[in-house]
Structure 1
């Protein structure tokens, strides 16, 4: 019988304690792997989401709110920006393209965005079928929207007031789908695009209809006037524009310029202490698992003197007895590592689906060699530490003492 088979047989006799040590270690490994891989993938997911949008210009206020609302489309609008002033501020040779966006409606929870064809250029979008709008009440669907709603060219749909699904339908103003975009991997896949004048027209006419019918209206025509937009999305010709143009726009009284890269990096920096805390907790669990395995092995070594004596009489050396303890610790550690990685993969898959559903962020975990080396190295160190004292106990026990016991 090999040392590994003998160690496995011993573990079967104390399977409860071995299973507990393995599960505690697995939870620690899963916590460390999930946090490190997940937080490494988040910036990449955010960069894919905002695509070619290098700058968002909106009303004076929080730059982070502006990015979350108008670049990632996961938050509510914070107001309107004077369109003429914003476009004037973006008249700069370092700006490659710019397009206004107007929010306010949705179709079954998917945002309808009033804009201009230049937005497609900013996101480097191409058509899978159809083309851009040429008239009022025509729309272009992102790849995800078209798939989820089952829409195809020529289909009609009705928008609803607000950025979330509601019963306030604009039934008198059906849209016609004239184009479907190829997947871009950006937030554009989750948007329904139309001409910005269409958004203004729908709300203006809806307000008139409600005023004629009820004497009042829930629609605010001022919000969709010809000189207002939720924000302007811009892309740069050169990277240096990130600092120069943003500083110039921020100096204006009524405008805020937000760089998605800067703002998301700042947001993630706020979460860094949480990352450190969870990683530390995972390492603590791994340490507890190593200590538990060591105590369990030591206890079994003390109760296994008859077996050790028999092995010595059969020719096993002291190093061989230590190898049995090391094999037991290695089996527990290997099972903890495998289980922990499976748990981490499951947690990352759940996080990926959750983020994709709630925010449109596509999390693509890609563990690097450093992380793999960290986990393997940590597992090996924990194995050696867990087996150290029991192995020394076995090697220092005299043959005479074993036989007398």
Structure 2
């Protein structure tokens, strides 16, 4: 009987039901988006290291060094001399040392010089770089380039196309170099910052026309794989605490996680706003049903006269509020999918990191359950009013 009462009431007040459920859907979508993007960003960014354990660079901020060498977002804090690179490359604790050089772009897309050996490194455990069919890696000493999947897609490039770099990390149409590079391959998508980069031979950046000839052998940073985790602590002590010339950023994941800890207040503010919107939306259920109680009193009284118990009427009103909350929470997934797709697209465009917002997250069950609970709670006030409807007085004709 309760389910039948709920269905009839929802159908009778269809417009207010749709409007109220719509507001809950927006609130649920916002909460899901904020929560999923927050948790996924923290885990994905902290796990993004392009397959390396540490970064060595000029003296400066560890975070700046990681953002520059791994995420390709920051400027280099300075250059390392060739002797410094050779010294770390030959260190017995180092398994792999890949130098990179930055300082050029193509219409805002960063150009990074490196060695072909970079593409032999697993960017994730068990995941190797691969080029699209028909392509090949560039050779050292050539004017060739390998382009990340996302950059190539946005630029409309394919193997065989040519381009001329521009000086600096910011695009300036007046700063175009004379050198012309030929694209030999497009990398398969990796879901990492590598996808946004145009890769050329290391010497290409070092000796590009217009660059300081005195820095022809310098590198911007060195990407490092260690032979053992303990080596990282040893090098951190030797380079960061005992030296004053270079910076050893290790471990990469902890440095990125520290960044998220520093800006955690932003997540807290967004989450608080989402909960406030959720509370307001849930309160709208209370207002919607409560305002309709005057029109419903006679119907409730008739039901009571026909044998319906007070608790049945009470349960029907609370159930109606819960169903509205459930409808809104379910529709909230559609809102979430739209919001999350836009946010994930922006993050990929700016960083190259790919989020998977539809991947299972615990909020997918406790979020809707919370909304249903809040709406049911909001339905208690009108339910109490319905419980107290006087049968005789309400049914009695008005003279």
What TM-score, normalized to structure 2?
0.86
Structure-2 separation of matches of 1:48 and 1:265? 9
Confirm whether residue 384 of structure 1 aligns to residue 390 of structure 2. Answer: no
Does the CA contact (< 8 Å) of 2:341 and 2:357 recur in 1?
no
1:1-400 counterparts in 2 under 5 A? 2-12=4-14, 15-16=15-16, 18=17, 21-47=20-46, 49-89=48-88, 91-122=90-121, 123=123, 124-128=128-132, 129-168=135-174, 170-202=176-208, 206-207=209-210, 219-222=211-214, 224-226=215-217, 228-251=218-241, 252-259=243-250, 260-366=252-358, 368=360, 370-400=362-392
> In structure 2, what is the equivalent of residue 214 of structure 1?
none
Structure-2 separation of matches of 1:243 and 1:393? 68
Structure-2 separation of matches of 1:368 and 1:348? 14
CA 1:56–1:369 in 2, change beyond 3 Å: closer, same or farther? closer
Does the CA contact (< 8 Å) of 1:309 and 1:402 recur in 2?
yes
CA 1:306–1:182 in 2, change beyond 3 Å: closer, same or farther? closer
Structure-2 separation of matches of 1:87 and 1:344? 50
Question: SS of 2:379's equivalent?
Answer: helix
Question: SS of 2:263's equivalent?
Answer: helix
CA 1:247–1:3 in 2, change beyond 3 Å: closer, same or farther? farther
Does the CA contact (< 8 Å) of 1:290 and 1:383 recur in 2?
yes
Structure-2 separation of matches of 1:65 and 1:364? 26
Does the CA contact (< 8 Å) of 1:49 and 1:360 recur in 2?
no
- What are the superposed Cα offsets for residues 49-108 of structure 1, whole Å, 9 maximum, x if unpaired? 532132111111111111111110012222212232244245444422111111111223
Structure-2 separation of matches of 1:172 and 1:295? 69
Structure-2 separation of matches of 1:318 and 1:265? 55
Structure-2 separation of matches of 1:298 and 1:149? 57
Does the CA contact (< 8 Å) of 2:138 and 2:201 recur in 1?
no
Q: How many residue pairs were aligned?
A: 386
CA 1:286–1:176 in 2, change beyond 3 Å: closer, same or farther? closer
Question: SS of 1:139's equivalent?
Answer: strand
**Structure 1 unaligned spans of 5+:** 208-218
Structure-1 separation of matches of 2:85 and 2:292? 75
Question: SS of 2:172's equivalent?
Answer: coil
Post-superposition offset of 1:329: 0.8
Question: SS of 1:50's equivalent?
Answer: coil
Structure-2 separation of matches of 1:400 and 1:49? 71
CA 1:378–1:261 in 2, change beyond 3 Å: closer, same or farther? same
> In structure 2, what is the equivalent of residue 212 of structure 1?
none
Structure-2 separation of matches of 1:160 and 1:112? 9
**Structure 2 unaligned spans of 5+:** none
Post-superposition offset of 1:362: 1.2
Post-superposition offset of 1:398: 4.3
Structure-2 separation of matches of 1:277 and 1:142? 35
Does the CA contact (< 8 Å) of 1:42 and 1:363 recur in 2?
yes
What is the root-mean-square deviation of aligned Cα atoms in Å? Answer: 2.6
CA 1:287–1:190 in 2, change beyond 3 Å: closer, same or farther? closer
Structure-1 separation of matches of 2:185 and 2:7? 65
CA 1:20–1:271 in 2, change beyond 3 Å: closer, same or farther? farther
- What are the superposed Cα offsets for residues 197-249 of structure 1, whole Å, 9 maximum, x if unpaired? 222222xxx34xxxxxxxxxxx4333x322x2111111233344443333332
Post-superposition offset of 1:31: 2.9
